[in-house]
Amino acid sequence: MNKRVILITGTPCTGKTTVAKQLTTRLDALYINLTELAKTHSLTIGEDKTRNTTIVDEEEMRKKTAKTIDGTEKTTVIVDGHYAAAVVPKRYVTYVFVLRRNPIELRKFMEKRGFSDAKLRENLASEILDVCLIEALQEQETERVCELDITGKIVDAVVNQIIAVLNQKKPCSVGNVDWLGMLEKEGLLDDYLTIT
Ligand SMILES: Nc1ncnc2c1ncn2[C@@H]1O[C@H](COP(=O)(O)OP(=O)(O)OP(=O)(O)O)[C@@H](O)[C@H]1O
Ligand SMILES: [Mg+2]
């Protein structure tokens, strides 16, 4: 059976899980959260002490996600995680949605979540420098990568936008975000991007 596999990626705190869960309900899909999958199956290879995070075994994650996708009876699978593009094999992927959020808004979300200063700065830099988008473009077919600026949007609107792309009512495109240029123009670059 041909499955539709949709990846939801983006910098931590952009809103992946919130969007992916609602999309799962709307599409009656199987939901895979990569952080939870790694924890449940102990697919880690150590700790990154400076970052206070675990390091996942990408090869094992790739095997496990492929097995989970193959094993489900659901026709649609949603994979949620900032490294989803790197661990879901190309042959499975229908679309990769890269959620983008203006760093000014993203910083507020991260502060509300209680990110440490170091974590906040590192993840803000990732968003400003398009890290998840670049990874998606490196790992997956370009025409399957869709960049969505979800700044200021309610979850419903984001989910509707994704469904419109899936139904070919809206195009899938990249290159619509330039946080670096925006911050520079606003004179905010030094506040938001600190290279240490
Ligand atoms: N569209 C939205 N509007 C307002 N707040 C939102 C929206 N989407 C998510 N949030 C809030 O932003 C925070 C981060 O959302 P969420 O946990 O979905 O992000 P995430 O990308 O999955 O993060 P992580 O990478 O850490 O798993 C949460 O507190 C959530 O309630
Ligand atoms: Mg999440």
Query: Residue 182 is part of a domain; what is its CATH number?
Result: 3.40.50.300
Q: How many separate domains does the chain show?
A: 1
Q: Whose CA is nearest to atom 30 of ligand 1?
A: 15
What distance in angstroms lies between residue 17's CA and the mean position of ligand 1's atoms? Answer: 7
Residue with tokens 């939870």: 36
Torsion sign over Cα 10, 133, 97, 32:
negative
Q: Whose CA is nearest to atom 26 of ligand 1?
A: 12
Element (H, E) at 111: helix 103-113
Q: Is the pLDDT of residue 87 over 70?
A: yes
Nearest ligand to the CA atom of 19: 1
pLDDT digits 0-9 by tens, 106-118:
999 999 999 999 9
pLDDT value of position 52: 67
Which pLDDT band holds residue 1 (cuts at 50, 70, 90)? low
Interacting residues of 125 by C-beta distance below 8 A, sequence separation 6+: 193, 194, 195
Higher pLDDT residue, 1 or 194? 194
Amino acid at 73: E
Nearest ligand to the CA atom of 113: 1
Q: Is the pLDDT of residue 12 over 80?
A: yes
Range of the domain at 129: 4-192
**Overall average pLDDT of the 119-132 stretch:** 96
- Give the chain's mean pLDDT: 94
Nearest ligand to the CA atom of 148: 1
What distance in angstroms lies between residue 80's CA and the mean position of ligand 2's atoms? Answer: 7
For the chain, the maximum distance between any two Cα atoms, rounded to a whole number of angstroms, is 53
What distance in angstroms lies between residue 15's CA and the mean position of ligand 2's atoms? Answer: 7
pLDDT value of position 121: 95
Higher pLDDT residue, 101 or 56? 101
**Overall average pLDDT of the 3-12 stretch:** 97
pLDDT value of position 34: 95
pLDDT value of position 196: 65
pLDDT value of position 45: 82
pLDDT digits 0-9 by tens, 148-187:
999 999 999 999 999 999 999 999 999 999 999 999 999 9
Q: How far apart are CA 191 and CA 27, in angstroms?
A: 40
Q: Is the pLDDT of residue 84 over 70?
A: yes
Q: Is the pLDDT of residue 53 over 80?
A: no
pLDDT value of position 194: 82
